[in-house]
């Protein structure tokens, strides 16, 4: 039986509603939930002593349930005489004080200021089917009547979907009539409606309008989750908040019915604090083809400080996590800096309604929550500042389960990338605990292979000098330079860093020590190369690209232009090496760069890191590296030599012990 109107205009016609209620008979019709789901909100804004007018009552049980719980002064009106007669017959004996009157809400006959509350559940939505002038004229009369019959300090409580045209008109009208407005999200009603329906469900709101004779300032509030209302400054903030929730609901509805269209794709949802518009949670929804033995759906909460790790910060990492967790769909939740998180349990409570909306249809089990450890993790702000070239940055200490602490440099313009990382050790000095940087630690995996290349070039290639010089373009936190300085004796390191701020960060927070073997030059890397007259055994490019539009984050494209590569060729000794950290997601651009390198250097050997985008490219014109066997033999000797140095100097770093995979996956051009 089709009980929905054929056209929007029918919603405002009494004939339609007479027909509707005749067809339904005595079966109640509940738009937007029943009293049980709405009572927390209604009881907050409506008191038992209030004189209440329910407009467009229909055959809803809402006012009946309110009457039964102690609200005795209730008058119900509806444009349909059919439903009024039905409700009179139903309630005459059981609720004798309850009044039901046939009346048009746009032409009410009550005296001025007769009610302390006007309650509307779905009537506004039924009246305002569009923003056409004829419809708006009717709704304006309706609102004017509400203002007329409400007492000073009285409230109009409207349960509505608050479509954009409705929300805009209502806010503008009541603001111009000296009223305070609050928009409250009816989360419990939404959850019940969503659980009961396999079809689409929509966000439900309560528009709470308080009438004042004179209101000297604009008062707009929103309460989109929890009990605390937040004051906002403009109508646009209210509308944006409503719109965001509605758009998210469309996504949720889609996910309930079907899977993501592309299993290699993912859905990203950002949940913000309404008052500050700061992101509090980011949710990545990933899926795979249903596997036998997998759970349908789960949620994984990433401890704070770990969101930049490969497993959580990249699509490929999140796909691996999905497969490892053995779920067909997984919601991966990351936490954000400048936010407070009490516990995993509190986070689950905060996210539960959102994550429920992401579960597939037919799933009745509770959401299994997963995480790396038993708590939310610890992130301590050590310092922050501004860089001329990279903008705002943060230095943070992140503590892992088990007590390990890592210091990280993060640029706020690209928060999911750890620019530099160091391992922190706690020591006691004079009964006081201090943090020091452990220079034995190499944070970046690609730095391991660069170090192997440095050792190979300075120890196992012809014409080795006592004090070989190496040039590192791109200092960052100085972790690579500090490790090479410690492990490779008789090597002079020149580091080029364009940003003096970052150089200071490396010295003050990441343990970089300058001496006769370690020098930093504050200069643009390209300018330094063009004016340089020094010969180097090795030149290393490990410099970030600030322009990510090319799909290449390391190095900047101008650093691998042919004229620059020819300058590099001239600056390295005949048996020297050029080592490039290449991070390029654009395969065509990557191939162009490799082609240019081949035109400049006779021999090229590359290694692609398995779980990273980084690719290490070793380039040389050295005569003894013709075959893969030559490269492999010398790199293998370098690995063994580094292990011996590490043991001799008692360096606590086992990164070089198992490099079979590295040696097996070298590629020679």
Specify which of 151-165, 262-276, 609-623 reaches the highest per-range mean pLDDT: 151-165
Bridge partners (DSSP) of residue 395 are 383, 409
> What are the helix (H) ranges across 154-234?
164-175, 187-196
Judged on CB neighbours under 10 Å (0-12, 13-18, 19+), 475 is buried
Is-contact 567 477, C-beta < 8 A?
A: no
Pick 415 or 409 by higher pLDDT: 409
d(CA 564, CA 559): 6
Which of left, alpha, beta for 365 (phi over 0: left; psi -120 to 50: alpha)?
Answer: beta
Tens of pLDDT, residues 31-68: 677 888 899 999 999 999 999 999 999 888 999 999 99
Q: Is the pLDDT of residue 29 over 90?
A: no
Residue 73 is encoded by which pair of tokens?
């002064």
Of the candidates 603, 600, 655, 408, which has an alpha carbon nearest to the alpha carbon of residue 509?
408
Q: Is the pLDDT of residue 517 over 90?
A: yes
Mean pLDDT of the chain: 85
Among the listed ranges 12-26, 157-171, 348-362, 564-578, which one has the minimum average pLDDT value? Answer: 12-26
**Which pLDDT does position 5 carry in this prediction?**
35
What pLDDT was estimated at residue 106?
Answer: 95
Structure tokens at 182: 């609050």
- The model's pLDDT over 125-173, given as tens digits with 9 standing for 90+, comes to 889 988 899 999 999 999 999 999 999 999 999 999 898 899 999 999 9
Report the pLDDT value the prediction gives residue 418, as an integer from 0 to 100.
86
Helix, strand or coil for residue 270?
A: strand
CATH for 32-250 is 3.40.50.150
Give the pLDDT score at 639: 84
Alpha helices (H) along 460-561: 479-487, 500-509, 525-531
For the chain, the structural domain boundaries read: 32-250, 258-371, 445-668
User: 669 near 606, Cβ under 8 Å?
Assistant: yes
* pLDDT of amino acid 562: 94
407 pairs with which residues across the strands? Answer: 397, 422
Q: Is the pTM higher than 0.85?
A: no
Is the domain defined by 258-371 classed in CATH 3.40.50?
A: yes
Are 475 and 506 spatial neighbours (Cβ–Cβ below 8 Å)? yes
Q: Specify the 3-state DSSP secondary structure of 362.
A: coil
Q: How far is CA 313 from each of CA 310, 325, 583, rounded to the nearest angstrom?
A: 5, 16, 16
* Tokens coding 513: 């020590």
- Model confidence band, residue 434 (pLDDT cutoffs 50, 70, 90): confident
Q: Which residue has the higher pLDDT, 526 or 268?
A: 526
Place of tokens 């929730």: 245
pLDDT tens, position by position, 172-184: 999 999 999 999 9
What is the third-level CATH fold of 445-668?
A: Rossmann fold (3.40.50)
pLDDT at residue number 470: 95
Q: What share of the chain is helix, strand, coil (3-state, %, to 5)?
A: 35, 30, 35
Do 353 and 187 meet the contact criterion of CB atoms below 8 Å apart?
yes
- Identify the pLDDT of residue 30: 56
* Cβ proximity of 162 and 183 under 8 Å: yes
Mean pLDDT along residues 71-91: 93
Calculate mean pLDDT across residues 611-623.
Answer: 85
Evaluate the CA torsion angle 127, 129, 135, 137 in order and state its sign.
positive
Alpha helices, DSSP H, located in 69-114: 81-91
Out of 59-73, 195-209, 342-356, 449-463, give the one with best mean pLDDT.
59-73
CB-based contacts of 336, cutoff 8 Å, min separation 6: 278, 279, 280, 281, 282, 304, 307
Does 506 score more than 80 pLDDT?
yes
Q: Do 445-668 and 32-250 fall under one CATH topology?
A: yes
pLDDT band per the 50, 70, 90 thresholds, residue 8: very low
Question: What are the distances in angstroms from CA 317 to CA 208, 320, 399, 459, 654?
Answer: 45, 5, 21, 37, 24
* Euclidean distance between CA atoms 216 and 218, whole angstroms: 7
């Amino acid at each position: 039986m089709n009980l929905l109107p054929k056209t929007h205009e029918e919603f405002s016609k009494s004939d339609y509603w007479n027909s509707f209620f005749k067809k339904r008979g005595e079966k109640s019709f509940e738009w937007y939930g029943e009293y049980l789901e709405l009572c927390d909100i209604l009881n907050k804004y409506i008191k038992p002593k209030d004189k209440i007018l329910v407009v467009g009552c229909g055959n809803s049980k809402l006012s009946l349930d309110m009457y039964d719980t102690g609200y005795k002064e209730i008058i119900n009106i509806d444009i349909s005489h059919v439903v009024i007669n039905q409700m009179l017959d139903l309630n005459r004996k059981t609720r004798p004080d309850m009044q039901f009157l046939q009346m048009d809400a746009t032409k009410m006959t009550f005296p001025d200021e007769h009610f302390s509350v006007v309650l509307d559940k779905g009537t506004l939505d039924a009246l305002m089917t569009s923003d056409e002038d004829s419809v708006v004229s009717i709704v304006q009369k309706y609102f004017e009547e509400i203002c007329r019959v409400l007492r000073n300090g009285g409230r109009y409580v409207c349960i509505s979907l608050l479509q954009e045209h409705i929300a805009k008109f209502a806010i503008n009208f009541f603001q111009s009539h000296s009223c305070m407005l609050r928009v409250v999200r009816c989360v419990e009603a939404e959850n019940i409606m969503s659980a009961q329906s396999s079809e689409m469900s929509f966000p439900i709101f309560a528009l709470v309008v308080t009438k004042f004779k004179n209101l000297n300032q604009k008062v707009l509030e929103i309460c989109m989750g929890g009990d605390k209302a937040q004051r906002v400054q403009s109508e646009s903030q209210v509308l944006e908040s409503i719109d965001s929730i509605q758009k998210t609901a469309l996504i949720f509805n889609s996910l309930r019915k079907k899977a993501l269209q592309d299993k290699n794709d993912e859905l990203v949802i950002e949940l913000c604090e309404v008052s500050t518009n700061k992101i509090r949670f980011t949710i990545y929804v990933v899926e795979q083809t249903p596997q036998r033995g997998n759970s349908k759906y789960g949620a994984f909460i990433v401890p704070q400080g770990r969101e930049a790790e490969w497993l959580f910060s990249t699509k490929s990492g999140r796909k691996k996590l999905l497969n490892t967790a053995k779920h067909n769909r997984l919601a991966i939740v990351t936490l954000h800096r400048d936010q407070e998180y009490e516990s995993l349990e509190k986070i689950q409570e905060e996210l539960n309604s959102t994550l429920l909306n992401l579960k597939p249809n037919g799933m009745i089990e509770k959401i299994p929550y997963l995480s790396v450890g038993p708590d939310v993790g610890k992130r301590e702000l050590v310092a922050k500042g501004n860089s001329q070239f990279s903008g705002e940055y943060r230095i943070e200490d992140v503590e892992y389960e088990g007590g390990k602490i890592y210091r990280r440099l993060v640029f706020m313009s690209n928060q999911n990338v750890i620019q530099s990382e160091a391992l922190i050790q706690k020591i006691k000095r004079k009964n006081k605990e201090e943090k020091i940087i452990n220079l034995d630690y190499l944070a970046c995996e690609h730095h391991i292979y660069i170090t192997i290349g440095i050792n190979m070039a300075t120890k196992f290639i012809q014409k080795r000098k006592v004090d070989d010089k190496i040039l590192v373009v791109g200092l960052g936190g100085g972790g690579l330079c500090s490790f090479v300085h410690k492990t490779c004796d008789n090597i002079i390191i020149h580091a080029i860093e364009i940003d003096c701020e970052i150089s200071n960060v490396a010295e003050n927070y990441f343990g970089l020590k300058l001496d006769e073997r370690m020098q930093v030059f504050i200069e643009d890397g390209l300018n330094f190369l063009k004016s340089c007259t020094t010969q180097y055994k090795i030149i290393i490019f490990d410099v970030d690209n600030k322009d990510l539009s090319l799909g290449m984050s390391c190095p900047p494209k101008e650093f691998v232009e042919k004229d620059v590569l020819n300058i590099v060729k001239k600056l390295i000794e005949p048996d020297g090496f050029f080592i490039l950290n290449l991070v390029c997601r654009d395969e065509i651009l990557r191939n162009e760069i490799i082609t240019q390198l081949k035109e400049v250097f006779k021999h090229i050997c590359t290694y692609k890191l398995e779980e990273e985008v980084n690719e290490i490219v070793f380039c040389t014109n050295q005569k003894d590296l013709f075959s893969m066997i030559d490269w492999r033999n010398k790199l293998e000797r370098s690995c063994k030599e580094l292990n011996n140095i590490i043991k001799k100097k008692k360096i606590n770093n086992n990164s070089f012990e198992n490099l079979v995979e590295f040696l097996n996956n070298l590629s020679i051009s």
